[in-house]
Structure 1
């Protein structure tokens, strides 16, 4: 069964939501029958690749709220993150465009490393205060999860990955995605926002049960005879 997750690297609730989803996934007995697909989404495609302001200044301009209110909001998000085991450092956070980071994610998805890439990029952005628009930083992160350095460099300028990012965004919008994180289960159920682990567990159980009923495992009626097996049984 497919689970699709629309997300942006700069979204704190996407990391919090991922952590809750991961907790539910760890308890799910059929996780080997799930296909987890990360989908790109950009909250602010107009941000520059080079940081020009901190998180508070950026949010002040974007939301038109007083500095004290923004700081209180970030404190609330930090507390929320701690409840799922994350240590956000908004004081070190680097506000940059996430498009190159999404290029790395798209490459990682081709190698079945999308989940690993998302975790590493979230941690780099929110915990380590790294610039996720910097190519050298992204190369180091990609190499850490096993991607080829030349493939990473090529991905920064390959139109294929740019197209895939835009396609993910358009697909999400057609499904009604207006904010992230947004989790879609078998294209039947959805969870919007950083919900509790219990909510993910319930939705996983419900959607998988229905999917399993619609896609029963075929069992063959086998007539036995002499054979050789991988466990060494038989004559060969």
Structure 2
């Protein structure tokens, strides 16, 4: 069975959702027969490719909040991330265009190192004092993931490299009706949206394996919208 996950590394619920999916998959009886493929989705495709902005400032501007209120929003999401055992910084993070990161992730997929690079990029973006919008940081992460440095540099230097693959993923997301990420598609028959609890993923995998009805997402799951807005479920 194949599971495809549309996500963006700028989306905190994609970071959290991946961790929850991994836990849910670990409880699935046929987990060794599941292929997981990560697909590209840009939350801010029209954003500048340079000069990322601080996340807290972006949130304050987008929602018309004070900086303190924006920090509180970040802390709410951070608590959800930390509950999954993830590192999450609420200050000092950047937000920007992720197209080049997606292109590099497609190179990693072609070399069998996609999930390794994705995990490193997530951790750097949400938990470390390293900006993934810095090409030199991306090169370091690519090498840590097992990619060839020269090849990774060549991809980042050539804006057309793997661009078609990123755009193809985004077209498929639109065709499948993905209005937010993370978006999970099981065998092209069942869909789940949002950073659901692990047990929801386990049930969905079992339903898809058995060929039964559509796996319905639980209410209130966190997700990030195409305009970059990330919902914060209320307690």
Normalised-by-shorter TM-score class? 0.7 to 0.9
**Superposition RMSD in Å:** 1.7
Q: Distance in 1 between matches of 2:49 and 2:125?
A: 14
2:69 maps to 1:69: yes
User: More displaced, 4-13 or 74-83?
Assistant: 74-83
Q: Is the 8 A contact 1:44 1:97 kept in 2?
A: yes
Task: Supply the distance in 1 between the matched residues of 2:151 and 2:53 (Cα, whole angstroms).
Answer: 31
Structure 2 gap ranges (5+): 213-235
Aligned match of 1:166: 167
State yes or no: 1:180 paired with 2:188. Answer: no
User: TM-score under structure 1 normalisation?
Assistant: 0.84
Partner of 1:86: 86
Q: Secondary structure at the match of 2:53?
A: coil
Asked if the contact 1:5–1:37 (Cα under 8 Å) also holds between the matched residues in 2, the reply is yes
Distance 1:115 1:141 in 2: 12
Post-superposition CA distance 1:132-183 (Å, at most 9, x none): 1222111111111111112211222152411111111111011111211001
Question: What SS does structure 2 have at the residue aligned with 1:112?
Answer: coil
Is residue 109 from structure 1 mapped to residue 136 from structure 2 by the alignment?
no
Matches of 2:29 and 2:152 in 1, distance apart? Answer: 34
Q: CA deviation at 1:21?
A: 0.6
The 5 A counterparts of 1:142-153 are 142-153=142-153
Return 92-101 or 6-15, whichever deviates more: 92-101
Task: Name which one, 1 or 2, has greater alpha-carbon Rg.
Answer: 1
Q: Which residue of 1 aligns with 2:216?
A: none
Q: How many angstroms does 1:63 deviate by?
A: 2.7
In 2: Cα distance, 1:53 partner to 1:160 partner: 26
**Given the alignment of the two structures, is residue 96 of structure 1 paired with residue 96 of structure 2, yes or no?**
yes
- Structure 1 stretches of at least 4 aligned residues deviating more than 6 Å after TM superposition: none
Separation in 2, partners of 1:74, 1:10 = 13
- Give the TM-score of the pair, scaled to structure 2: 0.84
Q: Do the aligned partners of 1:9 and 1:98 also contact (CA within 8 Å) in 2?
A: yes
Q: Is there any run of 5+ residues in structure 1 with no aligned partner, and where?
A: 212-236
The alignment of Structure 1 onto Structure 2 pairs a total of residues equal to 211
Aligned residue for 1:27?
27
* 1:59 paired to 2:64: no
Structure 1 SS opposite 2:94: coil
Structure 2 distance, partners of 1:142, 1:24, is 27
**Residues 180 and 52 from structure 1, CA distance in 2 versus in 1: closer, same or farther, beyond 3 angstroms?**
closer
| SS of alignment partner, residue 6 of structure 1 | strand
